[in-house]
Amino acid sequence: MRDPDPRTVQQARAGDLRAFEELVRLYQAEVFRFAWHLTRDRTLAEDVTQDTFLRAFRFIHGYRGGQRFGSWLFAIARNCSMDALRKRGTVVEHDARETRVTPDASTRAELDAALAAVSAEHRDAFLLVEVFGLSYQEAADVLGVAVGTVKSRMFRARRALCAAIAVDDEQAQ
Amino acid sequence: MNCRRVQPLMSAAMDGAHLSSAERGAVEAHLATCADCAAFERRAVQVRAAVRIRAAEDVPDLTDRIMAAVGSARPVRPPRRPRRPIRPRALMPAVAAAIAGLLVGSLVVGGPWHAHPRTAWASEIELGVRGAAPSVEAFQGSYTITERGLAPDVPERTLSMDVAFLAPQRFRLDVHDDTVYPSNAWTPTNLTYVENMPATYLSGPTGCIGTLQPIDCSSTTTITKARYSAAAPVPADLVVPLATLGSVDGVQVLGEENVGGHDTVRVQMPFSRAGPLFPFLQLGGTWRPFFADDVVTVWLDTTGWYPVRSQITPSPDPARRDWEMRFGLPHESPDTPILDVSLGSVADTPPEPSVFRIQGRKVVPPSDVGTVFGYTPAAPAEPAPLSLVAAIAPPSGPTAPTSVLLYADGLDYLRVAEDPQWSGPGPFGPIGLDAEQVTLPHVGPALYEPAGEGLGRRLSIHTPTTDLFVESNLSRDELFSIASTLDVRGAPMPARWLVAHAGDLTLTRTDPTAALRAMGLDTTAIALPAGYLPASATRSIEQGVDVGTTVTFRQPDSDAVGPPVLLHMGAIRDAAADTAPDPQRVSIGTTTGRYSPSASELTWTGSGRSWSVQGDLDLAQLVAIASSVLEGRA
């Protein structure tokens, strides 16, 4: 995850819309991908991305600079995704079409199915660390939990996914 | 080192965590001989490759759409209180009532939030309330309390209330009863509560009755002077409702309104969840009763996040009729508020420190700590973002600590109480038998108990030389992370502290994982709702006979919210002794169980034992747990 120029954040805090737009351009792809992973719905992920930046703008004074700007934004995106899912009143369904776009489709489909089966808490930690490359500390900031909690959730998610591949291996034999 | 220890270390190392050379050596040695762990490593690498090396997702450019939405919004000012002019109190309730009356049920259209869906408010309230708590330095509020239905000859009472807060940790609440009573047989409810760091002072009505004149019944007398109270500051939720709205589970957001010049968001919750918003009800005096499901509506200022108005209306639930009869109340209409607390004026000007003065304890300057206490109290090396605000010598007493260090940041606090000569019958501090045994990094074993019963989250740490009690309104993780920087090495609690006696019954705290194993179960095999983990276990022994084991499961990350799930295995119970008023027969696979909705408990028998699972869960979840227990043992 990239870090913004601190001056850009300062200017955005002062209400400078151009500076905020710069932050939108810098982070929207990551926020969208994260929202897509959490909601598994393109339209919803677009709405969540918009809502995340809207909320970030309104609460930009709440960003205290002690953590990375991206971690703070991810925390908001996660809340917005939960709100959106709650509002829609559905659990995340595994959307097969979205997962068949990669060359190694069968492994990906297995992994996505396994990932959909682990608890949301474990999945969130896994996404942040393994997919988005956050450090344990940054993931802990996003999730509002201790580093040790991220470590154990990460391990449990990883164990579940390894087990899914293992089943696959055995079936192939 | 075995697989259970090696695999988490391998996982952490893959993510860049540092392993000590001893850990690295042990992992490598184990890997050389263990096919399972080698397979785990290989698959973990495969998983990484599969999720990281992938076709780029088609990411839309939403810049224009986002900026169009942002253009019609405005940043919320930092959660620091605006200096508002003090409004004339007499005018306020009428004005507020008129405005609230006009706007009830409607959204303010065209306001700054018009592009902002109502559902998004839930997490904004959390963000706002949590963000405001550490930044509040001072608060003064004046309120009018209107109460209806105390007694047939006192249909309505009016009281005024003043609340003052000064960081760090100084609170004062005064209630003055302005009611004209029909006779002097009534004692006015005049209350004063002062909390000044870890000492509290409470005064309430005199016991004077009409015939015992000439005692001046309007004056107050000290009825309690707590030596040391670990309870959360009583009026804190009137300043920022952190206890009530720091988590919005069970809270319904109704919409936005302007109340008496405040932009507010209106939320609703049951009375049972809203206690901290009405702190005066716990402080003595005379108050009418409230039903657990009575409806509490709160108008929350969206700039300062303090309640502008809180109202209780009777629940429409038919079950309330029985309750009304029990209290000799007439039937009360859900349309008429029975308690209304309205903010008249609010200011962020600091109150005079002298209003918080309490006699009888001593604040020690940091330079004198060693001399006054005779030892250097254990202090967290990294209390940030909190900082040390006072070292206190409480008045001595059998259950009082000898020193208390108070750390605070706005409304957030953490206290470390210490007694190097602790010789009580159990762990130091208010810690129950079902406390969770935890291991703090660097410090070692400790007992943890979640927030509840007016206390914050708490830890008791026993060491060979001293005993510590740490209590805080921070989250579990924040509390653990600060407590981990204490320069002490915890020791296991003495065996006699793990036992409690009640008549012939002896309760012994045991390790929950070992208890489950003894029940023939593995934690991972039990179908618990997400986030629940074994926290503690107790064994019951009656007249030398083991009569059962109870394992408590909690959600570590939301322990203030989710009640525990209890799994009990014991001797077969006499069916006639089962007093549940509403049992229903339920199938658990091929076994028949009994379900009591009122107790939210499912019981069954199997393998010559009686089993039960209880928790704030629905029947399907209880049955899922029961089935997994039956299968897990099969």
Q: What's the pLDDT tens digit per position in B238-287?
A: 998 887 887 777 788 888 888 888 888 999 999 988 888 998 887 777 88
Same domain flag for A33 and A57? yes
pLDDT of residue B84: 33
pLDDT tops 60 at residue B200: no
User: CB-CB: which of B77, B477, B557 is closest to A61?
Assistant: B77
Average pLDDT over every residue of B471-486: 88
In angstroms, the separation between the Cα of residue A53 and the nearest Cα of chain B is: 7
Phi then psi dihedrals of residue A14, to 5 deg: -75, 0
Q: A13 and A82 share a domain?
A: yes
User: Given this model, what pLDDT does residue B111 score?
Assistant: 30
B373 — pLDDT class (breaks 50, 70, 90): confident
Task: Encode B251-261: b = buried (16+ Cβ within 10 Å), e = exposed.
Answer: bebbbbbbbbe
Most A CBs within 10 A among B6, B40, B43, B251, hence the mutation to make, goes to B43
As beta bridge partners, residue B591 has: B588
- Look at residue B535 and tell me whether its pLDDT is greater than 90: no
Residue B430 has pLDDT above 60, yes or no: yes
**CA–CA distance, B451 with A127 (Å, rounded to integer):** 31
pLDDT at B562 over 60: no
pLDDT of residue B393 exceeding 60: yes
The CATH number of the domain holding residue A2 is: 1.10.1740.10
Instruction: Measure CB to CB from residue A87 to each of B14, B119, B441 and give the nearest one.
Output: B119
Judge whether residue B446 has pLDDT over 90. yes
- Domain encompassing residue A136: 95-173
The dihedral sign for the CA sequence B9, B10, B11, B16: positive
The shortest CB-CB distance from B119 to any of A83, A104, A149 is to: A83
Above 80 in pLDDT, residue B93? no
Residue with tokens 């408010």: B121
Contact list in B for residue A111 (CB cut-off 8 A) is: 47, 50-51
* Banded pLDDT at B444 (limits 50, 70, 90): very high
Number of CB pairs, chain A paired with chain B, less than 8 A apart: 165
Which residues of A are less than 8 Å from B529 in CB distance? none
Final residue in a domain of this structure, among A46, A71, A93? A93
pLDDT of residue B299: 95
| Predicted local distance difference test score (pLDDT) of residue B161 | 92
Q: Which of B17, B69, B480 sits opposite A50 (nearest CB)?
A: B69
Q: List Cβ neighbours of B255 (8 Å cut-off, separation of 6 or more).
A: B105, B106, B107, B118, B265, B266
Last residue of a domain, one of A49, A72, A93: A93
Quick: pLDDT tens for B124-134.
Answer: 788 788 777 77
Tell me the shortest Cα–Cα distance from A87 to chain B, in angstroms: 7
Strands B444-449 and B457-462: antiparallel
Clarify whether residues A99 and A163 are in a common domain: yes
Inter-residue contact B367 to B376 (CB < 8 Å): no
> Among B498, B621, B480, B628, which Cα is nearest to B562's?
B621
**Mean pLDDT calculated for residue range B93-110:** 29
Task: Judge if A72 and A144 occupy the same domain.
Answer: no
Helix (H/G/I), strand (E/B), else coil: B451: coil
Domain B497-633 grouped into CATH 2.60.40: no
Helix (H) or strand (E) holding B613: strand B609-614
**Contact (CB<8Å) B50/A28:** no
Strands (E), B441-493: 444-449, 457-462, 467-472
Q: What is the ipTM of this complex?
A: 0.81
Higher pLDDT, B593 or B90: B593
Same domain, A57 and A111: no
Domain count, chain A: 2
Question: Minimum mean pLDDT among B52-61, B76-85, B490-499, B601-610: which range?
Answer: B76-85
The least confident of A8-12, B376-380, B560-564 is B560-564
CB contact under 8 A, A58 and B76: yes
- Token pair 């309007």 is at which residue? B218
Which bin fits A130, alpha (ψ -120 to 50), beta or left (φ > 0)?
A: alpha
Question: Tokens representing B409?
Answer: 């940041």
Rounded CA-CA distance B233/B456 in Å is: 10
Across the interface, whether the CB atoms of B66 and A136 are under 8 A apart is answered: no
Selected for mutation to probe chain B from A121, A165, A173 (highest B CB count within 10 Å) is A165
At A100 the pLDDT is: 35
Distance CA B176, CA B192 (A): 9
B336 touches chain A (CB under 8 A): no
Considering the domain architecture, whether residues A5 and A86 belong to the same structural domain is answered as: yes
pLDDT at B617 (0 to 100): 78
Largest CA distance in chain B: 90
Q: What is the pLDDT of residue B376?
A: 87
Q: Name B155's Cβ contacts closer than 8 Å, sequence gap at least 6.
A: B148, B149
Contacts of A151 in chain B (CB under 8 A): 8, 11-12, 15, 17
Which among A15, A130, A152 has the least Cβ separation from residue B48? A130
**Looking at beta carbons, which residues of chain A come within 8 Å of B70?**
17, 20, 24, 53-54, 57
Q: Which of B52, B63, B128 sits opposite A25 (nearest CB)?
A: B63
Q: C-alpha angle B604/B609/B615, rounded to 5°?
A: 45
Does A79 lie in the same domain as A5?
yes
CB B409 within 8 A of CB B434: no
The residue in chain B having the minimum alpha-carbon distance to the alpha carbon of residue A78 is B123
Alpha-carbon dihedral sign for residues B399, B405, B409, B410 = positive
In 3D space, the residue among B428, B435, B469, B439 whose CA is nearest the CA of residue B452 turns out to be: B435
Give mean pLDDT, residues A45-72.
83
Q: Which of A30, A135, A161 to mutate to test the interface with B (most CBs of B within 10 A)?
A: A161
Rounded CA-CA distance B241/B343 in Å is 14
B556 pLDDT more than 80: no
Check the CA dihedral B90-B92-B93-B94 and report its sign.
positive
**How much is the pLDDT for B329?**
82
Partners of residue B556 in chain A, C-beta under 8 Å: 149
**Same domain, yes or no: A144 and A83:** no
> What integer pLDDT is reported at residue B110 of this predicted model?
27
Work out the angle between the directed axes of helices B3-14 and B35-52 (0-180°, nearest 10): 30
| CB contact B55 to A (< 8 Å) | yes
Domain(s) of CATH 3.40.1000: residues in chain B: 361-493, 497-633
| Residues A20, B70: C-beta atoms closer than 8 Å | yes
Helix (H, G, I), strand (E, B) or coil at B389: strand
Which one is predicted more confidently, B480 or B90?
A: B480
> What is the residue type of A135?
S
Q: B89 pLDDT exceeds 70?
A: no
Distant-in-sequence, close-in-space partners of B217: CB < 8 Å, separation ≥ 6: B184, B187, B188, B205, B206, B208
Output the furthest CA–CA distance in chain A (Å, rounded): 62
Residue B477: its chain A contacts at CB < 8 A? 140, 144-146, 149
Which candidate from A15, A46, A159 shows the least CB-CB separation from B60? Answer: A46
Least confident of B185-189, B286-290, B457-461: B185-189
CB neighbour burial string for B177-202, b if at least 16 within 10 angstroms, e if fewer: beeebeeeebbbbbbbbbbbbbbbbb
The structure tokens listed for A115 are 């990932």
Query: Would the CB atoms of A32 and B16 count as touching at under 8 Å?
Result: no
CATH of residue A109's domain is 1.10.10.10
- 3 state SS for B542-582: ECCEEEEEEEEEECHHHCCCCCCEEEEEECCCCHHHCCCCC
Q: Which pLDDT value is given to residue B199?
A: 55
Average pLDDT, chain B: 77
Are A107 and B50 inside 8 Å of each other by CB?
yes
Q: How many CB atoms lie within 10 A of CB A27?
A: 23
Q: Which fold has domain B361-493?
A: Protein Transport Mog1p; Chain A (3.40.1000)
**Nearest residue to B512 (alpha-carbon basis) of B469, B555, B557, B566:** B566
Residue with tokens 């319904």: B252
- Each residue's pLDDT tens digit, B179-198: 888 877 777 787 778 777 65
Instruction: List all residues of chain B from 454 to 483 with a beta carbon under 8 Å from chain A.
Output: 475, 477, 480-481
Residue located via tokens 């080698």? B38
Nearest CB partner across the interface for A83, out of B66, B78, B122: B122
Same domain, yes or no: A1 and A78: yes
Whether A109 and A71 map to the same domain: the answer is no
Q: State which residue of chain A sits closest to B78, comparing Cα positions.
A: A61
Output the pLDDT for position B440: 95
Task: Kindly report, residue by residue over B150-162, the tens digit of the pLDDT.
Answer: 888 889 999 999 9
| Domain closes at, from A30, A58, A93 | A93
Model confidence at A20: pLDDT above 60? yes
CA distance linking residue B415 with residue B438, whole number of Å: 19
What is the reported pLDDT for B396? 61
User: Which residues from chain B sit within 8 angstroms of residue A81, using beta carbons?
Assistant: none
Average pLDDT over residues B85-107: 29
Please tell me which residue, B226 or B547, carries the higher pLDDT value: B547
Taking CB atoms and an 8 Å limit, are B55 and A120 in contact across chains? no
Structure tokens at B403: 């020193």
pLDDT bucket at B589, cuts 50 / 70 / 90: confident
Q: Looking at residues B96-119, what average pLDDT do you find?
A: 32
Residue A5 has pLDDT above 60, yes or no: yes
Nearest to B76 among A33, A61, A148 (CB): A61
pLDDT attached to residue B70: 83
* pLDDT at residue B87 in the model: 31
Report the range of poorest mean pLDDT among A61-65, A67-71, B458-462, B627-631: A61-65
Residue of B nearest to A135 (CA): B15
- Give the distance from CA B610 to its chain's centroid: 33
Q: Which of B514, B541, B518, B380 is nearest to B437 (CA)?
A: B514
**A85 in the same domain as A104:** no
Contacts of A159 in chain B (CB under 8 A): 7, 11, 40
CB A125 within 8 A of CB A157: yes
Chain B partners of A28 at a C-beta cutoff of 8 Å? 59, 61-63, 66
Per DSSP (E only), the strands in B349-411 are 362-364, 387-393, 403-409
| Token pair recorded at residue B137 | 């330095």
The HSE-up count of residue A43 (CA atoms within 13 Å, CB side) is: 1
pLDDT at residue A24 is higher than 70: yes
Do A73 and A132 fall into the same domain? no
| Chain B CB contacts of A100 below 8 Å | none
Specify the pLDDT at position A171: 53
Model confidence at B117, pLDDT cuts 50, 70, 90, reads very low
